[in-house]
Structure 1
Amino acid sequence: MYRKPVKAKILIVDSHKSEHKLYAAALDPNFKCYFVDNIQDAWEILYKYPIQVIIADEMIEKTIGVDFLTQIQKQYPEVVRLMIADFKNMQLCLLGNVAGIYQFLYKPWRPDNLRLIVNNAVKIFNLQDKNKISPLDFKGDLSKRLIATVKPTKKQKNSYTGGTFDQLVRSEKSPLNVLCADVQKFSSYDIPILIYGESGTGKELFARAIHYYSARESKPLIVENCAALPDDLLESELFGHVKGAFTGAYNDKIGLLEQANGGTVFLDEIGDISPAFQVKLLRVLQEGTLRKLGGNRYISIDIRIISATNKDLKTEIKEGKFREDLFYRLAGVEFKIPPLRERKVDIPLICMNIIKQGNLLFDKNIVAIDDEAIQVLKGHKWTGNVRELQNEIQRAMIKSETDSLSIEDFSSNLKEG
C-alpha cells in the first residue's frame, strides 16, 4: 500500500506575524511548518514535535536571534539552525556566530533560495540520523552531543581509545590521555561524577563515555542543559507534569529523570540552576523519588547523575550561590578537562578532522594546512576552545580556492593572535 512520505518539520520563529504568510507560501507545499512569534511558544513546539530545521529572525521579542539559537544548540544540537537578518547586520551576525548557525539569509530573501537552503538543511539532518556525518559538523562544537555515535562494543571498550573516546581527537602525547584513562576507571563504579571545563572542551563527550563504560550502558542516557531553561520549564522537563499543572499542560508528561530510570542523567551547566531549584533537585537525589509538577504521587527512580559546569562550584558555595549539600551529592569524584590552549599538540589532528568532515558538508577537497597556518593556529589562545577552532577552519574552507589552507584564508582575528 502506498504511503505518502513524511514531510520534514520546520519551525519558523519570527515576531512579525505578517512574515509568516511569506514563509508559508515558500515552504508549506514541501515541508510541515510551525509558526511562532515568541520564544516561549518556540520551546513548546520543540518539546512537542521532532523539529529538524529552525529558522529564526535576528530579533525576537527583544531577544537577539543568535542568543536564542545558542540555547537551541545546547538543548537540541541536532536541529539545523538558520537565521534571517538584514544585510547591514549580516557581517555582525557572522562575526558573532556562537550558535553554530548553518547558514544566514539576508532580507529580503527569495522564496526559491529559501527552499533550496532548507532542503539542504534537511539533508544534513538526515545524514546525521543515518550516521553519515556527526551532528557536530555544522554546529561549531566538536565536543557537543554525539547523537550519531554508535554504541561501543565490548572489544572496543577494552582498547585504550575505544568507545566514545574515539570521538575525542587527540595525539599520543595529549594531556587528555591520562584523563581518559582515569575517567574509564571510575566509570564502572556507580558514583556521581562532576566534570569541570570551559565551554567547548568536551564535557558532554566525557559524560557519554562514562555512561557507555558503566554497567548502565544498556539503559537510557538522558542529557539536559540546565542553563537553557527557566526554573518552571526545567522542573517540568526533569520531573514531568500532570495535565492542568499550568497553562498549556494539556497532557501528562513523563519527566527525563523518570525516562532515564535505571540509566544515567547528564546535567550540563549545573552551576547555573537557581537556589530554589537546587533544593528540589537535592530532595530528589537524597530520597530517590520525585513528584511531577502539579502531582501528588511520588515515583521511585534509580539513576546515576553526571553533572558538568564551567564554574568553580567551591567558590560559588563560599559566595552562597550553590548549596554545599547538593555539591557533595554531585561530586563523588571530580574531573577537570583542560582547555584547547593547553592541548596545542592536539590542534593539527583536530584541524584535519574538521576538514575531513567539512569536505563532506561543503563539497570541498581540502587535504592540508600549510606550516605557517599550523603555527599560527597552535599559538592562538582559543578562548572558545574547539568550537572557536571549528568556526575558523570552516570559514577558511569556504574561502579557500585551493586544496590546502594557508594563513590568508583565515580571519584577521586569528592573524592578529
Structure 2
Amino acid sequence: MTTLPIILVVDDERQSQEALRRVLADEFRVLTASTAEEAEGLLEQEMVHAILCDQRMPGVQGVDFLKTVRDRWPDPVRMIISGYSEAEDIIAGVNEAGIYQYITKPWEPDELVQTLHGALRLYDLQRESAQASLDLKVPQAALQKSIARKTGTLKRQHHFDGIIHAAASPLAGVIEMARKVSSFDISVLITGESGTGKELLARAIHYNSPRGNKPFVVENCGALPDQLLESELFGCKKGAFTGAYEDRIGLFEQASGGTIFLDEIGETSPAFQVKLLRVLQEGEIRPLGARLTRKVDVRVIAATNRNLEEEVRGGHFRRDLFYRLAAFPIHIPPLRERPMDVPLLAERLLGDTAKGFGRPSLCFTAEALDQLRAYDWPGNVRELQNEIQRMVALADHGMLGPDLLSPRLKARVCPAGRALADGEAPGSLREQVEALEARLLAESLSRHRWNITRVAEETGLSRVGLRAKLRRYGLEREG
C-alpha cells in the first residue's frame, strides 16, 4: 500500500480535529492528539512529516510544545494553528520553536492543503541537505541521535515477523522468499493486486538488508507524465523545462546506498522504459538538462498490479527491462485466496483503529469475524481497513457485530457467513443493484488509488454525487 504523508493534528477540541481530518484525509494520513502527552506518544511511534498544533491548550501552550518537539524530533515541519494572533506568540513561535507557518482560524481548506504541500516540500529539502531542523541550528549530536532513533523505529516497524498472516497462509511462503532475498543485492519485482501490501513487503526487504541503514525512497510511476517522472527520479537542472525553477536532486541520488521502490512500474511509457533501462544497465543517471552523468549505487525494488509477462508478449513493456527488474520475482496472493489471514488482520487493524479514534476495548463478535472471513475483498487489505474504520465509528458499545457491516458486505454475504456465488441473488432487486454499485465503486477506488477526481470521471458522477455514494456504502477513506 502506498504510504501517505503523515500529518499530526494537536488540538484539545474534538470538533477542530474532525474538521481538519475531513479536509486533509484525501491527501494525507491524519493522526490526532488532544494533549501534548498524547502527541509525544504518537511521535515516538510514527514518522510524522508535519505538525498542526493549536496555540491555546490546557496545560501547555502550542509554542512550548513545539519547542520540545524541535529538541526531540527535529524532522517534522512545525506549524501553529490558532484563533488568536498576538504578535508575541508569532515572534516566539518563529524564534524559539522554529515555526514554519502561523495559520489563523478560520482557515480556508484549499489554502491549508497548499500550505501543507509547501511544508512537505520543505521536509524533503531538509532530507536532501541532511539537516534535521527548520533553522539549521540543531546540534550534530541531536541530529545523529534523531537519525539513529528513526532507523531503529523503522527496522522494528518493518520486520518480516510484523507482516500479519496465519501459519497455513500462502503468504508464509512469500515472506520466507522475501526474507532470503533481502540479504542479496539483486533487483526484486513484487506483483499483486492493489491493496495487497506490496510496499509493506518492499520496506521489510530493505530494512532487513545490508542497506537497511540507508534511505528507502518511494515513487509512484503511474502518477506522473514522462518528463516529470524523469525529473523526479533522475533530477534536473534549472531551466531544463517549463517549471524547472531550480536544480533538483533526483530520487536515485537521494537513495544513494539504499533502495528505491518503483511502484506501478507497469504504467510507464515505452520511451521512459528505455531511459530507466540505461540507468539499471550502466548504474548512472543524467539529470534533465545536464551534460554529465552521475554514478548511483541503488538497489531497485519494483511493483505492479499488472501481469508484466503478458505486457511483454503484447509489446507494451520492454522484455530487456522486465528481466532487469525481475531478477527475483515475488507474487503476493490477494486476500480472497488467504481467508485464514482475515481474522488476524482484522484484529490488528481494529486495535490500531480503536487507538487512533480514542475508542479502546473494542472487539468483534464471532459472527462478525465469520462474515468478514467469508467476503472476497476485491480491494484487499485496504478495503478491510476501511470496513473496520466504519464499524468503529458506528459502534455504540464494545462489541462489533454483523449489524455494523456496510451494505456491500451484507448484500454479498449470506446470514450464515457464506459468500454468495456469482449469479446468486442476495435479496431484493434494490439490494442487488446496491451491491453491484458498491462493488464497482470499490474496484474503481482501488484501481485509481483513491483519486476521487479520476473515479468520478470513470463512473460519470460529479464529485459531490460520488462522495454521497461513498458515504452511503461505507467506502469513505479515514486517516
TM-score, length of structure 1 as denominator length: 0.65
1:278 to 273, 277, 287: 273
Offset at residue 46 of structure 1 (A): 7.3
Structure with more of its chain in helix, by fraction: 2
Offset at residue 225 of structure 1 (A): 1.0
Are residues 1:319 and 2:322 paired? no
> Which structure 2 segments of 5+ residues have no match?
1-62, 68-76, 82-101, 125-145, 413-479
Alpha carbons of structure 1 residues 223 and 33: separation in structure 2 relative to 1, 3 Å = farther
Partner amino acid, structure 2, of 1:249: A
Offset at residue 322 of structure 1 (A): 0.3
Offset at residue 174 of structure 1 (A): 2.2
Offset at residue 166 of structure 1 (A): 3.4
Whole-Å separation in 1 of the counterparts to 2:243 and 2:107: 22
State the match for 1:152 in structure 2.
Answer: 155
State the match for 1:212 in structure 2.
Answer: 207
State the match for 1:372 in structure 2.
Answer: 367
Offset at residue 247 of structure 1 (A): 2.6
Contact 2:159 2:208 in 1 (8 A): no
State the match for 1:265 in structure 2.
Answer: 260
State the match for 1:348 in structure 2.
Answer: 343
* The structure with more radius of gyration: 2
1:239 to 221, 229, 234: 234
State the match for 1:106 in structure 2.
Answer: none
Which secondary structure does the structure 2 equivalent of 1:241 belong to? Answer: coil
1:415 to 404, 410, 414: 410
State the match for 2:291 in structure 1.
Answer: 296
State the match for 1:402 in structure 2.
Answer: 397
Offset at residue 205 of structure 1 (A): 0.9
Whole-Å separation in 1 of the counterparts to 2:115 and 2:280: 31
Offset at residue 224 of structure 1 (A): 0.9
Are residues 1:178 and 2:173 paired? yes
Contact 1:196 1:334 in 2 (8 A): yes
Offset at residue 173 of structure 1 (A): 2.3
Are residues 1:28 and 2:103 paired? yes
Alpha carbons of structure 1 residues 413 and 148: separation in structure 2 relative to 1, 3 Å = farther
State the match for 1:125 in structure 2.
Answer: none
Whole-Å separation in 2 of the counterparts to 1:283 and 1:232: 16
Contact 2:158 2:200 in 1 (8 A): no
Offset at residue 333 of structure 1 (A): 1.0
Partner amino acid, structure 2, of 1:28: I
Partner amino acid, structure 1, of 2:394: K
Offset at residue 359 of structure 1 (A): 1.4
State the match for 1:96 in structure 2.
Answer: none
Partner amino acid, structure 2, of 1:387: R
TM-score, length of structure 2 as denominator length: 0.57
Alpha carbons of structure 1 residues 267 and 195: separation in structure 2 relative to 1, 3 Å = same
1:226 to 213, 216, 221: 221
Whole-Å separation in 2 of the counterparts to 1:182 and 1:284: 26
Are residues 1:49 and 2:122 paired? yes
- Cα deviation code 1:358-417 (max 9, x no counterpart): 112212134321121111111101000000011111101111101011111111110111
Offset at residue 246 of structure 1 (A): 2.0
2:324 to 319, 325, 329: 329
Offset at residue 216 of structure 1 (A): 1.4
Contact 2:151 2:213 in 1 (8 A): no
State the match for 1:187 in structure 2.
Answer: 182
Whole-Å separation in 1 of the counterparts to 2:287 and 2:188: 25
Whole-Å separation in 1 of the counterparts to 2:255 and 2:265: 18
Contact 2:158 2:203 in 1 (8 A): no
Whole-Å separation in 1 of the counterparts to 2:323 and 2:189: 10
- Cα deviation code 1:35-88 (max 9, x no counterpart): 579x9x99984773349xxxxxxxxxxxxxxxxxxxxxxxxxxxxxxxxxxxxx
State the match for 2:449 in structure 1.
Answer: none
Partner amino acid, structure 2, of 1:330: L
Whole-Å separation in 2 of the counterparts to 1:349 and 1:402: 22
State the match for 1:387 in structure 2.
Answer: 382
- Cα deviation code 1:129-163 (max 9, x no counterpart): x9xxxxxxxxxxxxxxxx9982437xxxxxxxx95
Alpha carbons of structure 1 residues 151 and 199: separation in structure 2 relative to 1, 3 Å = same
State the match for 1:138 in structure 2.
Answer: none
Contact 2:354 2:362 in 1 (8 A): no
Whole-Å separation in 2 of the counterparts to 1:47 and 1:294: 25
Which secondary structure does the structure 1 equivalent of 2:195 belong to? Answer: coil
Whole-Å separation in 2 of the counterparts to 1:148 and 1:395: 33
Which secondary structure does the structure 1 equivalent of 2:333 belong to? Answer: coil
Which secondary structure does the structure 1 equivalent of 2:160 belong to? Answer: helix
Partner amino acid, structure 1, of 2:391: A
Offset at residue 337 of structure 1 (A): 0.4
> Which structure 1 segments of 5+ residues have no match?
11-26, 52-129, 131-146, 154-161
Which secondary structure does the structure 2 equivalent of 1:416 belong to? Answer: helix
Contact 1:358 1:394 in 2 (8 A): yes
CA RMSD of aligned residues (A): 3.0
Whole-Å separation in 1 of the counterparts to 2:239 and 2:152: 38
Alpha carbons of structure 1 residues 414 and 149: separation in structure 2 relative to 1, 3 Å = farther
Whole-Å separation in 1 of the counterparts to 2:347 and 2:251: 37
State the match for 1:249 in structure 2.
Answer: 244
Q: Which moved more, 1:165-174 or 1:342-351?
A: 165-174
Contact 2:160 2:179 in 1 (8 A): no
- Cα deviation code 1:266-323 (max 9, x no counterpart): 1011001111111110111111111101111110111111101000001101111100
Contact 1:187 1:214 in 2 (8 A): yes
Partner amino acid, structure 2, of 1:48: R
Partner amino acid, structure 1, of 2:380: N
Alpha carbons of structure 1 residues 389 and 148: separation in structure 2 relative to 1, 3 Å = farther
- Cα deviation code 1:87-117 (max 9, x no counterpart): xxxxxxxxxxxxxxxxxxxxxxxxxxxxxxx
Which secondary structure does the structure 1 equivalent of 2:159 belong to? Answer: helix
Whole-Å separation in 1 of the counterparts to 2:152 and 2:345: 18
Partner amino acid, structure 2, of 1:241: C
How many residues matched?
296
Contact 1:366 1:405 in 2 (8 A): no
